[in-house]
Amino acid sequence: MRKIRIFEHISLDGVIEHDDNYEYGAWTAKYRTPQGLGMLMEAYGSKYDLLLGRGTYDAWSAFWPKMQGNPMADNLNAATKYVATHRPEGLEWGPAEALAPDAIAGIRALKETDGPDLILSGSTSLTSALLAEGLADEVVLIVYPVILGRGKRLFTDEFTARELEFVSSAATPTGVLLNRYRYVGGLKG
């Protein structure tokens, strides 16, 4: 049985991304360090497959294949990409497979197979659904020391409360925190 591990780059106020016109578009760039890359790669592990929403798949497929010789890119490019999409055509960045029309059922079945961990990054709708269904095993938040004020948030106000158990934390010299949590379940009142 595979583990599903969620990774999200996030600001202190819960923002994970902005549209292309945002004045601080590359808000994570100035905080990147070789130490941070090493921490992130260690957290990902040496062998994994990816769970991606179609938007993340399209954005990553335009970037990562061009980064030859980069250890992170090499691992991402080699991973099998399982894509939640209603448009299964055009999955050229492979190996790639479209998940079944019911993405959650497809992920549930995929989790039951043998293979490396499944890493999800960048898809808020999949993140929320996997946590709501109890399918996620771990959440890794890469927290940047910025408050952005606006942008896409990791969770909407409609998200149902969940409990996570702290596993570990590590910091880079630029103040980025890599916080690991184990999924527990619904929050008890």
pLDDT (tens digit, 0 to 9) for every residue of the chain, 189 residues total?
A: 999 999 999 999 988 875 555 666 678 888 999 999 899 999 999 899 999 999 899 989 998 999 888 888 999 999 999 999 888 888 999 899 999 789 999 999 999 999 999 999 988 889 888 998 999 999 999 999 999 888 888 877 777 888 999 999 999 999 999 999 999 988 887
Query: Do residues 146 and 12 make contact, with C-beta atoms less than 8 angstroms apart?
Result: yes
Spatial separation of the C-alpha atoms in residues 51 and 35, rounded to whole Å: 25
Cut 0.75: pTM above it:
yes
Distance CA 189, CA 187 (A): 6
pLDDT at 81: 96
**CA atoms within 13 A of residue 34's CA, in its CB half-sphere:** 0
CA 143 – CA 67 distance, rounded (Å): 24
CB 56 within 8 A of CB 152: no
Domains, the chain = 4-186 (3.40.430.10)
- Cβ-count burial 125-145 (b if 16+ within 10 Å, e if not): ebbbbbbeeebbbbbbbbbbe
**What pLDDT shows up at residue 158?**
76
Q: Are 23 and 137 in contact (CB under 8 A)?
A: no
